[in-house]
Every structure is written in C-alpha cells, then in structure tokens.
Amino acid sequence: MATVTNWIDHLSASEVQGAIYPGVGTEGILVLIAFVIWIGWHVIASKQESEEHSKLARRRPGSNEWKSNITDG
Amino acid sequence: MTDELGALTTIFTEFYYWITVVLMFLIHVGFCMYEVGASRYKHHQHTLMKNTMLIPLVTVTWFLFGWWIYWAFPTGPGIAPSIMNESAALITDDSLFSAKWYLPNSDLMAVNLGDHISGVFWAAFLLFSWTAASIVSGAVIERITTFAFGILAIAIGSVFWSIDAAWGWHFDGWMLKILGYHDAYASGVIHAIAGGFALGILIVLGPRIGKFSSSGEPRNIGPRNPWLVAIGLFLIYTGFWGFYAACNIPIFNLGPEYGMEGVTYFTATNIYVTPTTLSGITMNFLMSLSGGLLAGYVIAKGDPFWTYSSGLAGIICASAGNDLYHPIQAMIIAMIGVVIAYKMHYWVERKFKIDDAVGAVAVHGYAGFAGLVICGFVLNGYPSSGYSVGAMWDGTTYAAINPLGMFIGALIMFFLLGMLPGWIIAKVLHGMGKLRIPREVELAGLDFDIMEAAKDDEKAVASASR
C-alpha cells in the first residue's frame, strides 16, 4: 500500500509525485465505499427514528408528562 | 515549491484559509447553542443532534459532489460561455479551474505535495455549506424529523448553494457576466438562498402545535434559555470574522491576472478577484454589526432575542457590498435591512401563518435579499469582476453592477434556488410521510424517552447502597 518508502528518493526525483496517500490508484473504490456508507447511514438512521417515534406515539404521553422526568435540581 | 518567496506566499495562503475554517467552526457551535436555547426543554437533545448531524452529512456529500458542482456550473450550463474554454457547457475539460480536478476520485482531493490550497479552500467552502444548512435548521425545530432535515441539509448545503456560488460567486459565473451580480460576503449566495429555502420548507411543514390560536393569532414561544441564545449569537458573530476573511483572497498580483503588461500590483481581493483590503472590510463588518444592533434595539423595544439577531441581520444586509462601502454606508444599510427583516417577519407570520422559530427567514432571507437590492444602487457602475478590466475571449466584458441585475439576482437566490427547491423537496418528503414527527411525539417531547430513562437511572443510583 505504501506510496512512499524513501523520502529522499521521493523528493529528489526529477518530477516529485504529489499524491502520497496509501493506495494511489484505488480512489474509485474508496469513493464507492463512501457512497455506500452515506446512503446506508440514511437508511439505518431513518429506520431507527421511525421506530422510536412509533413507539412513543403508541404510548401517547401527555404534553406535561415530561416534567416529571426532569432529573436535575 | 523551490523558491522561498513563492513558498512563503503559498504556505501563508494555506494557513490563512485554515485559520478561517477554525474560526468558522464557531459559527456552527453558535448555531447549536442558539437552537438549543431557543427550543423547549422537552426537545433539547434532539434539536442539538439534528443540527450536529448536518456536519457529517454535508461534509461527506460536499466531498462526493458538492465541490464538483461549484467548479462545473459557472456557465449555467448553457447560459454564458466560460472565459477559460469558451464553451457554455459544464466545465469538465482540462482547463486550470475545471471541475475535473475536484471529482472525489481526483488525486488533488487528498494529501498532495503539488497542491497546498485545494483542501483548505474546499474546507472554507464547506463551512459556508454548514452555515447554509444550519440557517435552515433553526427555523424548523421541534417538529421536523431528523431524516427529513438530513436530506434537506444536503440539498441546500451540497447542491443548491453550490449551484448559486458557481453562478454568482465564481469568477467565471454567468450572473456576473450577464447581470453584473456582486455579492462579496454572501448576502445572497448564503443568506438569501438559505432563508428562502427555509421558507419553502416551512410552508409545507406547518407551525408548531400551539403557535397559533384558533382565531389565527400568533403566540410567542420565546427562547427557553436566553443566556444560551446570547452566547450562541456571540459565537456566530465571532465565526463571522472567519467567514469574511474566507471570502477574500489574501494576496494576489492583479497586474498579470488582468493582462496589464509590466504592472505588478499585490493586494487582497474579494472572491471576484477585485481589490479590497482586510482592513477596510473589518471596519465595515463592525459598523454594520453596530447598525444592526442599534436598529434592532429600537425596533424590538430592547428585546434581547431580536436585538442580537439584528446585529447579525445588519452584517448580512451590508455584506453584498462590504468590500467597497464606506463604513457609515455599511451602518445605514444594516439599519435598513434590520427594519425590513423585522417588519417582514411579523407580517408573514400573521398573514401566512408561518412559524419561523428563530426568525431565520427574516434575519438571513429578507435581510440578504434587501442587501442585494441596496447593493445594486449603491455600487451602481462598479465592475462586477476583475476580468471586466480586460476583454473576455470574445471581446465582450462583464456587465457592471446595476440595480436591475442585482434585483434579478436576489430573486434567483431567494426564490429560484432557495424557496422553490425547499418547497418541492419538503412536498416530496411530506408525501412519503417522512417530513414531520407524529403529533403525539411533538406533544410529549422528542426527548421524552431519553428523559424517562435518565429518571429511572437516577432513581436506581439514588437507591443503591453499594
């Protein structure tokens, strides 16, 4: 994976290569992974949120009931 | 980098933008504090998380496509040819400032020894994106789902503001060339668009339960923690310094850039590569802040929430031309913007039953819109771009700043790229049943479960003997 194994050789080359991150050339795969993570996050987070709301909505707590849950003070 | 002066200039510029990013981070801290302070106790934690999660969502999408849009869309496409390649198509060729270099798989979108600027410039623009999304966040608190807000934040932060920046902020943008659009510190490209976008959502989202009486009279749901609101707004002011600095290019030799033979002229410039000074804009920033506070205090009769917000609205209104205004002009323009924003807020609230929880549409949208229109009159005749000094590729020049062009520009920012997309996306989300939280949850409080669990934990801890 290492793009640079010797800084002296790297910086004294006639044309210094700019990209120095590991796995130069694999950017397309990394972008694909990022897309999957991004979309996947929305799917999972949305499902969690819907479940949380449905559960709470079914219980129908009163609009002042939260006041009995204040823990500080 | 092999010569010392060139290296010093590059590293200075890199560090300059990096500092602006750090300062602008405070804008987001401020928005989070402000929103939590403005929300009711039973919604605090979800309100905070909603605004916080726009950070990763907008950042990732800004990396994947937002930044590319900015560099690809200055021509429209199809509205005005680029000065770089003479084509009106998307700029994706091999030219120096092509979007091609900013695709997420480009090797310039990473640690690259050949490029010290792209990353910090990307980040500075990203922080503008967060700001645009965060403006929207405050308006919709206590009833929008986090899912819907995430989608809307991405739309404004990584798509629509990026398009408007390409059109009206990029040195090659068609709005500069055809309309003479000028918006040095983003009255329109950030504030008017975000305010308009928020208004579009609010029309579909509807007011919080209890905001309006059965006869339609609005009720005040004031900030629950005014101290947090005050600190939040002070932090936004502080971050705004970074915002202003980030809209400048710190050092540029305009002689060769404008094609003036034998002329060397180093200066700071605005985003359009026309000369200004960091010193001058600092005066204008402070005088417009002061104008906003003075007007806000009087018109809101000393109400702290509106007075603080008016300081911000004052800066926003003067921002379009704060690269050139006299400080007293900046102060007066700020005062006008605040009066318009305040009056419009209450008129729209009563007339259309719009519940803008933090006055975001007013402070950003109306003040930004007014700032663009005023700029068209006060800076009438100034060149809209540095490149209007010399002929463009086809012999024509950029239009000069003018009232009509700026008014049309304001309409584009607020309505076309702001309100309309916000309304459409909110409609789609509403149609999917994903826009608004259930009524029972809104009444009980978004944090009800968290609070109940905390109470149970506390009881258990209190009764524990070991």
The mean per-residue pLDDT over the stretch B419-423 comes to: 98
B chain contacts of residue A57, beta-carbon cutoff 8 Å: 438-441
The predicted structure's pLDDT at residue B394: 58
Contact flag B441-A53 (C-beta cutoff 8 Å): yes
Mutating which of B447, B452, B458, B459 best tests the A interface, going by the most A Cβ atoms within 10 A? B452
> Is it the case that residue B389 has pLDDT exceeding 60?
no
Q: Which of B442, B216, B200 is nearest to B349 (CA)?
A: B216
Structure tokens at A24: 């130069």
The nearest CA of chain B is from the CA of A57 a distance in Å of 5
Question: What pLDDT, in 10s, does the model give residues B42-54?
Answer: 999 999 999 999 9
* Mean pLDDT of the B351-378 span: 97
Distances in Å between the Cα of B56 and the Cα atoms of B130, B348, B419 are 10, 33, 24
Residue B440 has pLDDT above 60, yes or no: yes
CB contact under 8 A, B111 and A16: no
Q: Do A38 and B437 touch (CB under 8 A)?
A: no
Report the half-sphere exposure of B344 (CA within 13 A, side-chain side).
21
Q: Torsion angle of alpha carbons B241, B242, B247, B251, nearest 10°?
A: 100
Domain residue limits, chain A: 33-58
Residues 6+ apart with CB under 8 A from B283: B327, B330
Q: Which residue of B has its CA nearest to A11?
A: B113
CB contact under 8 Å between A71 and B110, yes or no, is no
CB contact under 8 A, A66 and B145: no
Query: Average pLDDT over chain B, rounded to whole?
Result: 94
Contact B455 A69 (CB under 8 A): yes
Nearest CA-CA partner of B369 in B434, B441, B417: B417
Is the predicted pLDDT of residue B390 greater than 60, yes or no?
no
Helix (H) or strand (E) holding B30: helix B4-38
Q: Prior bond to B438 cis, omega within 30?
A: no
Residue B396: predicted pLDDT: 67
Higher-confidence residue of A1 and B243: namely B243
Side-chain half-sphere of B337: how many Cα atoms within 13 Å?
42
- State the pLDDT at residue B85: 85
Q: Looking at residues A39-52, what average pLDDT do you find?
A: 97
Give B195's contacts (C-beta < 8 A, 6+ positions apart): B135, B360, B361, B362, B363, B364, B365, B366, B367, B368, B369, B414, B418
Could you tell me what percentage of chain A is helix, strand and coil, using 3-state DSSP and rounding each to the nearest 5? Answer: 60, 0, 40
The position carrying tokens 């000074």 is B277
Structure tokens given for B262:
């034998």
Q: How far apart are CA B378 and CA B384, in angstroms?
A: 13
Beta carbons of B308 and B225 less than 8 angstroms apart: no
CB distance B454–A71 less than 8 Å?
A: yes
Question: What is the structure's pLDDT at B466?
Answer: 81
Confidence category of residue A67, pLDDT binned at 50, 70, 90: confident
The alpha carbons of chain B give a radius of gyration, in whole angstroms, of 23
Q: C-alpha distances in angstroms, A62 versus A67, B39, B457?
A: 10, 19, 22
pLDDT at residue B255, rounded to an integer? 86
Q: What is the pLDDT, as a whole number, of residue B155?
A: 98
Q: Is the pLDDT of residue B392 over 70?
A: no
Question: With contact defined as beta carbons under 8 Å apart, do B380 and B182 qualify?
Answer: no
Q: Is B42 on the interface with A (CB under 8 A)?
A: yes
Q: How far is B411 from chain A (nearest CA, A)?
A: 33
Q: Which residues of B99-122 are buried (b: 16+ CB within 10 A; e: fewer)?
A: bbbbbbbbbbbbebeebbebbbbb
Mean pLDDT of B356-383: 97
Q: How confident is the model at residue A73 (pLDDT cuts 50, 70, 90)?
A: very low
Q: At B421, is the secondary structure helix, strand, or coil?
A: helix
Note whether B222 and B274 are within 8 A (CB).
no
Q: Flag if B112 and A20 touch (Cβ within 8 Å).
A: yes
User: Between the CA atoms of B326, B330, B331 and B336, what dihedral angle is there, to the nearest 10 degrees?
Assistant: 140
Q: Which of B113, B441, B458 sits opposite A56 (nearest CB)?
A: B441
Residues B207 and B214 sit within 8 Å (Cβ to Cβ): no
Partner A contacted by B455 (CB < 8 A): yes
Residue partners of B171: CB distance under 8 A and separation at least 6: B271, B272, B273, B385, B386, B387
Q: Tell me if chain A has a CB within 8 Å of the CB of B145.
A: yes
Closest CA of chain B from A5, distance in Å: 15
Neighboring chain A residues of B452 at a CB cutoff of 8 Å = 69
Question: A52 and chain B: CB distance < 8 Å anywhere?
Answer: yes
Check if B260 contacts A (Cβ < 8 Å): no
CB contact under 8 A, A66 and B444: yes
Quickly count: other Cβ atoms within 10 Å of residue B95's Cβ.
Answer: 18
> Is B456 part of the contact surface with chain A (CB cutoff 8 Å)?
no
Mutate to test the interface with B, among A35, A54, A56, A59 (most CBs of B within 10 A): A56
Nearest to A61 among B108, B145, B444 (CB): B444
Q: What is the mean pLDDT of residues B143-172?
A: 97
What is the rounded CA–CA span in Å between residue B320 and residue B453? 49
B41 at the A interface (CB within 8 A)?
Answer: yes
Note whether B448 contacts A60, CB cutoff 8 Å: no
For residue B454, list chain A residues with Cβ-Cβ distance below 8 A: 69, 71
For the record, the structure tokens of B332 come out as: 């007066």
**B60: nearest CA partner in chain A:** A38
Q: Which homologous superfamily does the CATH classification assign to the domain defined by B4-453?
A: Ammonium transporter AmtB like domains (1.10.3430.10)
- For residue B252, list its beta bridge partners: B267
pLDDT in tens, B99-111: 999 999 999 999 9
Write out chain A residues lying below 8 Å of B109, CB-based: 27
Mean pLDDT on A26-40: 97
pLDDT at B199 over 50: yes
Query: What's the rounded mean pLDDT across residues A2-28?
Result: 91
Q: Among all residues of chain B, which has the CA nearest to that of A56?
A: B441
**Residue B269, SS3?**
strand
Q: What is the 3-state secondary structure (H, E, C) of B139-184?
A: HCCCCECHHHHHHHHHHHHHHHHHHHHHHHCCCCCHHHHHHCCCCC
Q: Is B86 in CB contact (< 8 Å) with chain A?
A: no
pLDDT tier for residue A62 given thresholds of 50, 70 and 90: confident
Q: Does A39 touch chain B (CB under 8 A)?
A: no
Q: Is A34 on the interface with B (CB under 8 A)?
A: yes
CA distance linking residue B365 with residue B316, whole number of Å: 9
Rounded CA-CA distance B423/B430 in Å is 10
pLDDT value of position B306: 95
Per-residue pLDDT averaged across B6-13, rounded? 93
Q: How far apart are CA B330 and CA B314, in angstroms?
A: 9
Mutation choice for B interface testing from A39, A69, A70, A72 by most B CBs within 10 A: A69
Task: Decide if B81 contacts B178 (C-beta within 8 A).
Answer: no
For range B264-278, the mean pLDDT: 94
Distances (CA, A) of B202 to B58, B61, B196: 21, 24, 10
Which tens digits make up the pLDDT trace of B309-324?
999 999 999 999 999 9
What's the residue count for chain A?
Answer: 73
Tokens of B198: 């928020």
**pLDDT above 80: residue B132:** yes
Give the pLDDT band of residue B257 (cuts 50, 70, 90).
Answer: confident
The distance in angstroms from the start CA to the end CA of chain B is: 65
Instruction: Please state, in angstroms and rounded to a whole number, the distance separating the CA atoms of residues B438 and B267.
Output: 56
Count of helices and strands (H, E) across chain B: 19, 3
Which residue on chain A is closest to B59 by alpha carbon? A38
In the block, tokens 């290492």 appear at A2
d(C-alpha A47, C-alpha A56), whole Å: 14
Residue with the two structure tokens 């009563």? B350
Q: For residue B145, give Cα distances in angstroms to B47, B133, B151, B222.
A: 10, 15, 10, 22
Q: Where are the domains positioned within chain B?
A: 4-453
Per-residue pLDDT averaged across B20-27, rounded?
97
Contact between chains at A27 and B104 (C-beta distance less than 8 A): yes
